[in-house]
Amino acid sequence: LGEDVDLEVLAKATSGFTGADLANLMNEAALLAARRGEKIIRDKHLQDAMMRVAVGTEKKSRKINDHEKKLTAVHEAGHAVVSRFLPTQDPVHEVSIIPRGMAGGYTMHVPKEDVWYSSKNRMIESIVSLLGGRVAEKIVLDDISTGASNDIERATQIARDMVTKYGMSDVIGPVKYGSSQEVFLGKDFGHSRDYSENVAAQIDEEIKRIVCDCFERCEKILSENIEILNRVSEYLIEHEKITGEEFDAIFEGKLDEYERLTREREMRQAEEEKRMLERKAEEERRLEEERKKREEFYRNGQGIGVIRVDVKPPEEPKEEEKTEENKEENE
């Protein structure tokens, strides 16, 4: 494992991974490192492996047209920007519009800490965040795509859980609806429903109300901050990928400052590298010089004379004939 790997950061990024996921992650990282001819696993291998395990491999070869690119950029920017306004949501770690696995793009969050239970507030804000993509499409492009279908499915599922599983709806009350078998199978089979048509209609109504309220809240946040949304999506179109730090800088309108700092850091690194290379070259020159001196020393027969110094007084090798003799020996 390389020294640049921060296990604490890795642990945060992989919270929720099972043991098998972690084993898979390390295996992928090892393969990537080997494929790139390296002997140790570095942070960048782990980052890439993490994305492979979580989303799938990058498909840079897949051609996307400009409209599709813009759509994805606006969509992902919507998720990222709205989540920044929601206190319970995790910080943005990376946003990308490079197709990967099944995803056209993604917004990746890294949890501040492991969350073992969810609050009503957190669930609501998760729904708002999930709707960010669709809402951004609607506001910026005045059109909506099918790309958000998974977001909507997940948002609806959270709302359903809130109502039927966690008793978080005032209208429905703190009652659990549906057998645990449904939950266990992860599917709603309908036939195992243990409540009346009337309640079912109320539940559907509540789910719809929650999701629509969240949609409105999302719409309000994003339309009030459309400049930020545009800034982020334009940057995405240009760069295809944004790190969490870049995102924060764009969000706060400090991109110029951020880029200046980045440039300065890169210049410092380049300077440092240059100095290191100079030091290395200097060291090599010194070694070369020493080697030459040594060679000359031996060629002149002084080397062997020096060895003799230990045995005899140093004046000894200075005699004319002995030096001549050594010269011959060396040649």
Q: Which is nearer to Zn ion, 104 or 317 (CB)?
A: 104
| Minimum distance from residue 11 beta carbon to Zn ion (Å) | 26
| Minimum distance from residue 159 beta carbon to Zn ion (Å) | 16
Check binding of 104 to Zn ion (CB under 5 A): no
Check binding of 151 to Zn ion (CB under 5 A): yes
List active site positions.
76
Per the listing, tokens 């060895």 go with 307
The interface region with Zn ion, picked from 8-16, 120-128, 149-157, 195-203 by CB under 5 A, is: 149-157
Non-local CB neighbours of 119 within 8 Å, separated by 6+ positions: 88
Q: Which is nearer to Zn ion, 99 or 133 (CB)?
A: 133
| Minimum distance from residue 216 beta carbon to Zn ion (Å) | 18
**Binding positions for Zn ion, 159-188, rule CB under 5 A:** none
| Minimum distance from residue 131 beta carbon to Zn ion (Å) | 9
Q: Residues touching Zn ion: how many (CB under 5 A)?
A: 2
Check binding of 133 to Zn ion (CB under 5 A): yes
- Please write down the HEC assignment for all residues of 78-103: HHHHHHHCCCCCCCEEEEECCCECCE
Burial of residue 167 (number of CB atoms within 10 Å: 0-12, 13-18, 19+):
middle
Check binding of 137 to Zn ion (CB under 5 A): no
How far apart CA 121 and CA 78 sit, in angstroms, is 20
| Minimum distance from residue 106 beta carbon to Zn ion (Å) | 8
Q: Which is nearer to Zn ion, 90 or 206 (CB)?
A: 90
Q: Which is nearer to Zn ion, 78 or 317 (CB)?
A: 78
Q: Which is nearer to Zn ion, 133 or 317 (CB)?
A: 133
Q: How many other C-beta atoms lie within 10 A of the C-beta of residue 59?
A: 14
How far apart CA 180 and CA 196 sit, in angstroms, is 17
Which pair of structure tokens corresponds to residue 10? 């890795």
* Residues facing 242 on adjacent strands: 95
Chain centroid to Cα 188, Å, comes to 34
Report the residue number whose CB is nearest to Zn ion: 133
Three-class secondary structure of residue 109 per DSSP: strand
- Which positions lie near Zn ion, rule CB under 5 A? 133, 151
